[in-house]
Amino acid sequence: MEIAGKVFIVTGGASGLGEGTARMLAANGGKVVIADMQAEKGEAIAKEIGGTFVKCDVSNEADGQAVVAKAVSVGKLMGLVNCAGIAPAEKTVGKNGPHSLAVYTKTIMVNLVGTFNMIRLAADAMCKNEPESTGERGVLISTASVAAYDGQIGQAAYSATKGGVVGMTLPIARDLARNGIRNMTIAPGIFGTPMMFGMPKEV
């Protein structure tokens, strides 16, 4: 896909992998819409790269709809890169008792439900695109993790969400193939991001 002139949504684009992705897309001529909860940083990055910022809780339907609507208003939405996520570290049973169910649920909502929410909304908009000469209407890229396959101590919630992202990748790809929309997932290892620096040393 030619990046130049196309619109791309990057969730979690205010830091880490998302920020790097947003900068790369902009450097190659893409029109970037950053969707993140970190308004101050997100707006600053968007201004720097000539993009657009929308404050967004990816697990919230109305927020996701607002991001997609903004992207479509900018131009032809051809890409979604899901980088938004949280990684709370908590053992199944710790010194203070069992794993917080609220923390587990929130992790599922952000990392798994949020990823699917943005996929379904962006894909719906892409289905309305006039196909490229290749027949393509868009591409969806989500972020899993090596933790989906080799989770460590304190990663029960995080690994569950990333395993879920991996699990839904193929059926979504099959759902959307006839529409000319590709769906894929990457599974990065450990590298220096604010999320990683917030993890305990044993993780």
State the catalytic residues.
Answer: 158
Q: Are strands 93-94 and 97-98 parallel, antiparallel or unpaired?
A: antiparallel
Angle at 126 between CA 120 and CA 130, to 5 degrees: 160
Query: How far is Cα 83 from Cα 136, in angstroms, rounded to an integer?
Result: 22
Query: How far is Cα 203 from Cα 188, in angstroms, rounded to an integer?
Result: 15
CA atoms within 13 A of residue 66's CA, in its CB half-sphere = 15
Query: How far is Cα 129 from Cα 80, in angstroms, rounded to an integer?
Result: 14
CB 60 within 8 A of CB 121: no
CB 193 within 8 A of CB 15: yes
Angle at 188 between CA 89 and CA 4, to 5 degrees: 125
